[in-house]
Amino acid sequence: MNLILFDFDKTIINKDTGAEYMKFMVQRNPIRFVLCFFALPFTLPFLILNKTKFIGFSVLLWLVTCGMSPKKIVTLRKHFINRYLENKATVIYKNAIEQLISHAQNKDRVVIVSGASEWMVKRIIVKLCIPMLEFACSEETRLAGGMVSKFHCYSTKKVERIKMRYNLEEYETIIGYSDSSIDIPLLRLCNQQIIVNPKPNCGTKLTKSFGKSMKIVKWV
């Protein structure tokens, strides 16, 4: 059996889903918009560094959800996903869907490994009707009346989560799909790296890391 590790944002879908969710939550309420604006000087230093991103994200996520009941948050999540997918600017790559289906038909073990929260990735994948997928994504939890980041599945944290859940020696081949050099630690676990629509600076870093074992693809 093969293990397939699939990034989500910019690899399956063309946007940063977590950022779009935050934008949706901030824009719907002027008071929360103002709170987030004044929190930026505090949160930006945390958001810049990979190791502390989850702190800045947690503060902003809490500000846009504090005081909401769990039921209200679930309702807003549904509204966000529907609006997000109905937006013509949101593109789910047909090539990505084809690859996911192909791997599923091949009986490969396919894991979506994403910095986006698990609830949003699952809701989108369910709408694509692709069976037999597993998820290793960021997680949220409730704290003091709002939501915060419980686990940020990003960069080296992706490696930690995969190694915790899977025995990599059990698989004949491990294939990784990503668009970004941020995923170099994850892609180092793989025998083959498929790089999707990389930006020039990311492409250079990825080429230095993987050379001929890497394949660049243009997906639409």
pLDDT tens, 191-216?
999 999 999 888 889 988 998 889 99
Cα–Cα distance for residue pair 1/210, rounded to 1 Å: 23
Size of the chain, expressed as the number of residues it contains: 220
Quote the pLDDT of residue 22. Answer: 96
Tell me how crowded residue 135 is: count the other CB atoms within 10 A of its CB.
16
Provide the pLDDT for residue 128: 86
**Number of domains the chain is built from:** 1
Whole-structure pTM value: 0.93
Sign of torsion, CA 116 117 118 122?
negative
Mean pLDDT calculated for residue range 2-26: 97
Query: Of 124, 157, 151, nearest to 138 (Cα)?
Result: 151
Q: Enumerate the β-bridge partners of residue 123.
A: none
Longest dimension (CA), the chain: 53
* CB-CB contact of 5 with 174 (8 Å): yes
- Element containing residue 202 per DSSP (H, E): helix 200-210
What is the tens place of the pLDDT at every residue in 43-97?
999 998 888 999 999 999 999 999 999 999 999 999 999 999 999 999 999 999 9
Residues 67 and 60 sit within 8 Å (Cβ to Cβ): no
SS3 (DSSP) at 45 = helix
| CATH number of the CATH domain containing 29 | 3.40.50.1000
Q: What is the mean pLDDT of residues 121-141?
A: 93
Q: Give the SS3 label for residue 214.
A: strand
219 C-beta neighbours (distance < 10 Å), count? 20
Distance CA 83, CA 185 (A): 33
Q: Give the three-state DSSP class for 124.
A: helix
Residues of the domain holding 189: 3-217
